[in-house]
Structure 1
């Protein structure tokens, strides 16, 4: 009789411990979802934005402004603007910063700022609120990288 009681106690102990075992999940429950990893690529880390850019920007009182912008490795820039069909040329120097895809030119003379969006091998001029120029001439506010 003692032997039967011991076997019964051992069986009860095994059954009681078996209830704490992890339950198998259905196939749908075992799938895990992963959040999309944000793209951490920015012009600052991914694009070679240093160099020389050229283009003809629209102007109100002449056919356009031939523009050359050079971004130097020491975070300085040189900007040359020549008004087509007019006897007017201007040079500007300053420093620039890049944050994400925003290029900010800060003029040394008066501290005024201009903004460009850095794109692959080109710069898109932005307005004072840092928005791309819109309208029929929007695609003309782009400087192409030449070297």
Structure 2
């Protein structure tokens, strides 16, 4: 009788260990598939040259950290003597909805400062790699000039 109980306990422990290991392996597989397929890098870098009224263009790099809700915006005014470089860091907030795209996203740079110091960029949900500079009303600037940055992968 004691041998039967010991064998049952041993079998139960063995099965529970295998069951636990199997669950851990399953979790690892699902975590790996999520991280490689569905996870977005928390730091996104957009680059491009924006139009400039009194220079050759504004070489712009925008780094957004969507986890920590902050940004770094670097602007170099090309063709100025000497070239003017401005680096701005601050807090970031997001809003849903860009034009008629309810799933589009708007980045509000310096959202915690007065509206006159806020800067707006946004992208459509079907093309998150193209980030448009927005006007004070959070609308895309309608122009033949290129008011957008592209995701640097």
Q: TM-score range by the shorter chain?
A: 0.5 to 0.7
Q: What displacement does 1:135 show? A: 2.2
Please identify which structure carries the higher helix content: 2
Whether 1:78 and 2:72 are equivalent positions in the alignment is yes
CA contact (8 A) 1:49 1:118 kept: no
CA contact (8 A) 1:93 1:108 kept: no
**CA deviations over 1:3-40 (Å, ceiling 9, x no partner):** xxxxxxxxxxxxxxxxxxxxxxxxxxxxxxxxxxxxxx
User: Structure 1 regions of 5+ residues with no counterpart?
Assistant: 1-45
| Cα distance change on mapping 1:63 and 1:79 into 2, 3 Å | same
Matched residue, 1:32? none
- Backbone CA RMSD of aligned residues: 2.3
Please point out which of 139, 146, 152 is paired with 1:146.
152
Q: What displacement does 1:142 show? A: 0.6
| Cα distance change on mapping 1:124 and 1:104 into 2, 3 Å | same
Distance 2:147 2:77 in 1: 15
Query: Which protein has greater RCO, CA pairs closer than 8 Å, 6+ apart?
Result: 1
| Cα distance change on mapping 1:141 and 1:57 into 2, 3 Å | same
User: Structure 2 regions of 5+ residues with no counterpart?
Assistant: 1-38, 97-104
Matched residue, 1:117? 122
Whether 1:105 and 2:98 are equivalent positions in the alignment is no
Q: Scaled by the length of structure 1, what TM-score is found?
A: 0.61
Distance 1:98 1:80 in 2: 20
Distance 1:109 1:63 in 2: 30
Whether 1:127 and 2:135 are equivalent positions in the alignment is yes
